[in-house]
Amino acid sequence: MKIALDVSIQDTPWLTGVERTQRSMVRELAEVDHDNEYLLLSRRPIHLPFELPPNFRHVDLSPHKPGYLWRERLLPTLLAKENVDVFHSPVSAIPVSGTFGKIATVHEVPWLERHRLVEPARRVWLFLNVRYARRIIAVSERTRANILRIYPDAKEKVVVVRHGVEARFTPAPDGAKRGAILSTLGIPDRPYLLFVGAPRRKKALDVLLSAFARVGAGARGTTQLVLAGVRNPKESGLEARAKELGIADAVRFPGYVGDDDLVELYQHATAFVFPSQFEGFGLPPLEAMACGTPVVASTGGAIPEVVGDAALLVQPRDPQQLADAIGRVLTEEDLRAKLRRRGLERVRSFSWKRAAQQVLELYAVAGAKAAVAGA
């Protein structure tokens, strides 16, 4: 069977959760599947930080000048010429034309979470997924339920495949001290709370800053708040907001942090705080737990589904409730130990190898149906 994966999202140096999860899946498929043939398609040149086996081939489409609606105008002919059986999109953007089996991954249904009539393009893509994809991969039960709220007849088509957590995310060895990387990132040698993510509105960083300012001075002490992933705090208004709240001296913006440095950030944080209004999955809390870091998170979207009873949960966009939870995790050593223990147990149920095996089963189903359709 020949499988085409759209890896165009890998052309950015600033990987977020969607790009990182696709990269992890490609790496795992390359390790476990030596039978099928893979085409990795991208609109522009990309670099993957691992070697691809002989059954994987990257095809840079930039010589074809892929423009508007390139998936529809370019892919059906190309994939037919390559005798592709299955096409898989990581961002639910699939071509309508073509007899090959189509699989789309849907990460979230944001307009249902926000309760706002917005994002018509996302609505169109979801409709096309339901109409033309052989299978839809939902990254959580929450996302699947949201899809079925709109398209209940797609029940048999929508399958949950949860993300895993990479092996690099592990607790620091006993007695390990903070490495030089934290100083390089501009984080003084003091306790810190950590957030990881882009400064999108749904991440509720305004709520986090307000909550941090409300934590009593006795509980907060010399603790810092590190917001990793915020590349331009002035443009986002977060720097000004921290000054307005009188906490600018305690808030750090190390910018975008690569995976290796991110591990150390997680490992040495007093706690990880994730106040997002909603998430289709929520990878950072899972990574934090894998590093043995206590987690405080909101109940938004699929976050409770990911963290289970291994995190201290608060209602989204409630700065006082978040401040109270932060105060507890800073002052109660027993609570931190319990969250650490539960987190390490929880992450055992998330595996990229298991996720890859599930995806391979879906490829087999979509490929078989495509063969029947083309007969």
- Output the domain CATH number for residue 227: 3.40.50.2000
In a domain, 171, yes or no: no
pLDDT for the residue 117: 60
Q: Is the pLDDT of residue 373 over 60?
A: no
Q: Report the b/e string of 234-253 with b at 16+ CB within 10 A.
A: eebebbebbeebebeebbbb
**What distance in Å separates the CA atoms of residue 302 and residue 325, rounded to the nearest whole number?**
20
238 assigned to some structural domain: yes
Reading phi first (left if > 0) and then psi (alpha if -120 to 50, else beta), residue 93 is in beta
Q: Are 107 and 126 in contact (CB under 8 A)?
A: no
Whether residues 357 and 339 share a domain: the answer is no
Q: Do 187 and 193 touch, CB atoms closer than 8 A?
A: no
Mean pLDDT of 343-365: 97
In degrees to the nearest 10, what's the CA dihedral of 138, 140, 142, 145? 40
Residue 21 lies in a domain: yes
CA 44 to chain centroid, in Å, comes to: 22
Count CB neighbours of 9 within 10 A.
19
Q: What is the pLDDT of residue 371?
A: 60
Residue 361 has pLDDT above 90, yes or no: yes
Helices (H) and strands (E) in the chain, counts: 17, 13
158 assigned to some structural domain: yes
Does residue 174 belong to any structural domain of this protein?
no
Asked if the structure places residue 302 within a domain, the reply is yes
Mean pLDDT calculated for residue range 217-232: 91
Q: Are residues 146 and 192 in the same domain?
A: no
pLDDT band at 67 (very low <50, low <70, confident <90, very high): confident
56 burial via Cβ count (<10 Å: 0-12, 13-18, 19+): buried
Contact 190, 270 (CB under 8 A): no
Kindly state whether residues 138 and 220 are assigned to the same domain.
no
> Which is more confident, 368 or 89?
89
Tell me what percent of the residues of the chain surpass a pLDDT of 90.
81
Q: Which domain holds residue 306?
A: 180-348
What SS3 class is residue 309?
coil
Number of neighbouring beta carbons within 10 Å of residue 270: 18
Both 189 and 55 in one domain: the answer is: no
Any domain includes 169: no
In this structure, the answer to whether residues 152 and 186 fall within a common structural domain is no
Q: In the Cβ-directed half-sphere of 33, how many Cα atoms lie within 13 Å?
A: 25
**Res. 375: pLDDT tops 50:** no
Summarize the confidence of residues 293-306 as an average pLDDT.
98
Are 282 and 309 contained in the same domain?
yes
Backbone angles phi, psi at 33, to 5 degrees: -115, 105
Measure the CA–CA gap between 271 and 257, rounded to whole angstroms.
18
Mean pLDDT of the region 136-158 = 97
Same domain, 359 and 236: no
d(CA 54, CA 52): 7
Same domain membership, residue 359 and residue 228: no
Sheet holding 271-274, edge to edge: 251-255, 224-228, 192-196, 271-274, 295-298, 312-314
Same domain, 197 and 299: yes
What pLDDT does 175 receive?
73
pLDDT-derived band of residue 119, with 50, 70 and 90 as boundaries?
A: low
In-domain check, residue 154: yes
Tokens for 34? 């030596």
Q: Residues 145, 90: one domain?
A: yes
Start-to-end Cα distance in the chain: 16
Global pTM reads: 0.94
25-39, 229-243, 274-288, 312-326: range with lowest mean pLDDT = 229-243
Query: For residue 198, is pLDDT > 80?
Result: yes
Look at the chain and report how many structural domains it folds into.
2
pLDDT at 157 over 50: yes
**211 and 335, same domain (yes or no):** yes
Q: Which two tokens stand for residue 374?
A: 């083309």
> What is the per-residue pLDDT across 31-55, written as a single tens digit (0 to 9) for each?
999 999 999 999 999 999 999 999 9
Structure tokens at 195: 């957030």
What is the chain's mean pLDDT, rounded?
A: 93
**317 & 193 share domain:** yes
Q: How would you class 268 by CB atoms within 10 Å of its CB: exposed for 0-12, middle for 13-18, buried for 19 or more? A: buried
Is the pLDDT score of 372 beyond 60?
no
- φ, ψ for residue 68, nearest 5 deg: -60, 135
Q: What pLDDT is attached to residue 263?
A: 95
